[in-house]
Amino acid sequence: MFSAKLKPHGGIRPYSHKSLTRDIAIRPLAAPRQLIVPLRQHTGPAAVPVVAPGAILSAGQLIAEARERMSAPVHAALAGVVTDVVSGDQGYIKIKVNAPADQPLAPRLAAPDGLDDVHAMLSLIEQAGIVGMGGAMFPAADKIRMSLRYPIETLIVNGGECEPYLTTDDRLMREQAEFIIGGIRYLQAITHARQVYIGIEDNKTEAIARLDELCRQERNIEVVILPSLYPIGSAKQMIEAVTGRQIPQNRRSTEMGVLVQNVGTCIAIFHAIRFGKPVTHRVITVSGRAVEHPGNLLVPIGTPIKEIIGQCGGLKSQPARIVLGGPMMGRAVEDLATPINKGTSGLLLLNGDELPQTRPSACLRCGRCLDACPMSLAPQAMFAELKNDGFAKARQQGLNACLLCGSCAYVCPAALPLTQFFDWGQQQLRLIKHQEDKLSRTRQNSARRQERLAREAAEKAAALAAKPARRARRNAPPTEDTPC
């Protein structure tokens, strides 16, 4: 065990609110009556349903297949009957749950015959539908396969749960440390990473002690104590703190020989390879001052948030905001039928006192946002450009590297909506790129067509030019040389 090599630049120390749930053990949610399972719980295109309304399901059964790369299959968490299927990116499969106590289980996942160990393990990770459980939702098998293009020296297991309120990873490290080590061993076998570090913030003392105890029996797995700083859980900050190396803005960490995986992802990998189990449940923190009994719950994926609130004793007061994820990077929701997906780490029911007061004024040019930005960007300059639709200049200033972490907005005394602008700006850049690509394809097609037409015209002209000569030769009177 050792302390971080250096404090990554930028970052903030928001009030953690973790005392609401950090000492509450994970408990399973009682089976809900209905699941609404989203088809897109990963970065790529939506999975394709393989069941129809009326289908009777076993727990763990495949209900939607991955479509292509960056997509991940989806499984039923509980036994039941399919009541509705809607395809597409916003699609879902509704399941009326039954037999929660003694439900039939789908067969365990199995790797196809003939694969070597590494590909068999990757196949199981892929079949299990594992995505980054820290919230990124990048399909784990794709991420590992991409990392194999480079020699991976270092595996960093991310126990940096820096968002306020969330204690999911803290509880997993305290209660399921053996599974994390099991997942790490499989990842080592796949990537041949020589050194493994488990990065944990210094406010998680029990988690540090538990994992350090297990790591003493391991040859090359070490715990690294990190400063409690937001957003130390983002991959680039984690790498900087653990290894002392900065990953340049336009490079991937795997290109530099480092693979980062979240602790929850390691547990899912362990269960997929060891027991052939797909991802059907996840642990979430339910917290905030508006909920009666905050806690950490093991929740079937697809459970509507209304059901979870009900099983946490209901509401103490009407929440001013409901957030899926953490308060810094989470998503505000209004519809209580919204389901939990594989990337949901928290459900926050916040009352008015827990929200920042937002009455924006003009920028004071105080420079606090510059100090807070973990990516060394100039938030106030990007904001000024975006206000005037200066997308190209904002891009030059590094808008695409922005993590949308909200650190700049958190420290801004003028309460400027910096993160919302950067989020919108990144969407506009994606749109502009899409239009530029389309225009460039149209131009290329048009140029190719012009070339083809010009070539055909030249060939035609050449053929026409050759015709009179041939005709003249045919019509010419025979000479002595003309063969009979």
* Minimum distance, C-beta of residue 328 to ligand SF4, in the bound complex (Å): 9
- Based on the shown chain and the rule CB under 6 A, indicate whether residue 151 belongs to the binding site for ligand SF4: no
In 3D, which of 164, 418, 383, 112 has the Cα closest to residue 287? Answer: 164
* Minimum distance, C-beta of residue 418 to ligand SF4, in the bound complex (Å): 6
Q: Which is nearer to ligand SF4, 314 or 360 (CB)?
A: 360
- Based on the shown chain and the rule CB under 6 A, indicate whether residue 328 belongs to the binding site for ligand SF4: no
Rounded Cα distance between 243 and 259, Å, is: 12
* Minimum distance, C-beta of residue 323 to ligand SF4, in the bound complex (Å): 17
- Fill in the per-residue mask, 345 to 364: x = in contact with ligand SF4 (CB under 6 A), - = not in contact: ------------------xx
Q: Which is nearer to ligand SF4, 291 or 382 (CB)?
A: 382
Rounded Cα distance between 382 and 43, Å, is: 26
Rounded Cα distance between 468 and 472, Å, is: 6
* Minimum distance, C-beta of residue 392 to ligand SF4, in the bound complex (Å): 18
- Based on the shown chain and the rule CB under 6 A, indicate whether residue 474 belongs to the binding site for ligand SF4: no
Residues 6+ apart with CB under 8 A from 363: 380, 383, 384, 414, 416
* Minimum distance, C-beta of residue 396 to ligand SF4, in the bound complex (Å): 14
Q: Which is nearer to ligand SF4, 300 or 406 (CB)?
A: 406
Residues 6+ apart with CB under 8 A from 472: none
- Fill in the per-residue mask, 387 to 426: x = in contact with ligand SF4 (CB under 6 A), - = not in contact: ---------------xxxxxxx--xxxx-x-xx--x----
* Minimum distance, C-beta of residue 329 to ligand SF4, in the bound complex (Å): 9
- Based on the shown chain and the rule CB under 6 A, indicate whether residue 369 belongs to the binding site for ligand SF4: yes
Stretch that binds ligand SF4, among 93-101, 204-212, 371-379, 424-432 (CB under 6 A): 371-379
Residue 44: CB atoms within 10 A of its CB come to 18
The secondary structure of residue 137, as a DSSP letter, is -
* Minimum distance, C-beta of residue 168 to ligand SF4, in the bound complex (Å): 22
- Based on the shown chain and the rule CB under 6 A, indicate whether residue 238 belongs to the binding site for ligand SF4: no
Considering only 379, 421, 425, 426, the residue that binds ligand SF4 (CB under 6 A) is: 379
Q: Which is nearer to ligand SF4, 28 or 367 (CB)?
A: 367
φ/ψ of 377, rounded to 5, equals -90, 175
* Minimum distance, C-beta of residue 394 to ligand SF4, in the bound complex (Å): 11
Structure tokens, 130: 């594992």
Burial of 440 from C-beta contacts in 10 A (0-12 / 13-18 / 19+) = exposed
| Total chain residues near ligand SF4 (CB under 6 A) | 29
* Minimum distance, C-beta of residue 249 to ligand SF4, in the bound complex (Å): 11
Give the gyration radius of the chain's Cα atoms. 29
* Minimum distance, C-beta of residue 263 to ligand SF4, in the bound complex (Å): 23
In 3D, which of 137, 147, 144 has the Cα closest to residue 71? Answer: 137
The secondary structure of residue 216, as a DSSP letter, is T
- Based on the shown chain and the rule CB under 6 A, indicate whether residue 235 belongs to the binding site for ligand SF4: no
In 3D, which of 20, 5, 15 has the Cα closest to residue 347? Answer: 20
* Minimum distance, C-beta of residue 218 to ligand SF4, in the bound complex (Å): 34
* DSSP result, 6-28: SPPSS-B-----GGGTTTS-EEE
Rounded Cα distance between 56 and 397, Å, is: 54
Q: Which is nearer to ligand SF4, 198 or 408 (CB)?
A: 408
Considering only 121, 375, 386, 394, the residue that binds ligand SF4 (CB under 6 A) is: 375
Distance between alpha carbon 373 and the CA centroid of its chain, in Å?
A: 21
Considering only 336, 366, 454, 458, the residue that binds ligand SF4 (CB under 6 A) is: 366
What value, to the nearest 5°, has the Cα angle with vertex 63 and ends 57 and 65? 155
Q: Which is nearer to ligand SF4, 73 or 406 (CB)?
A: 406
Residues listed for the chain: 484
Q: Which is nearer to ligand SF4, 414 or 429 (CB)?
A: 414
* DSSP result, 67-130: -STT---EE-SS-EEEEEEE-STT-EEEEEE---SS--BPPPP-PPTT--HHHHHHHHHHHTT-
Q: Which is nearer to ligand SF4, 248 or 313 (CB)?
A: 248
- Based on the shown chain and the rule CB under 6 A, indicate whether residue 214 belongs to the binding site for ligand SF4: no
Q: Which is nearer to ligand SF4, 46 or 412 (CB)?
A: 412
Q: Which is nearer to ligand SF4, 57 or 241 (CB)?
A: 241
Rounded Cα distance between 319 and 138, Å, is: 31
**Binding stretches for ligand SF4 (CB under 6 A):** 363-369, 372-375, 377, 379-380, 402-408, 411-414, 416, 418-419, 422
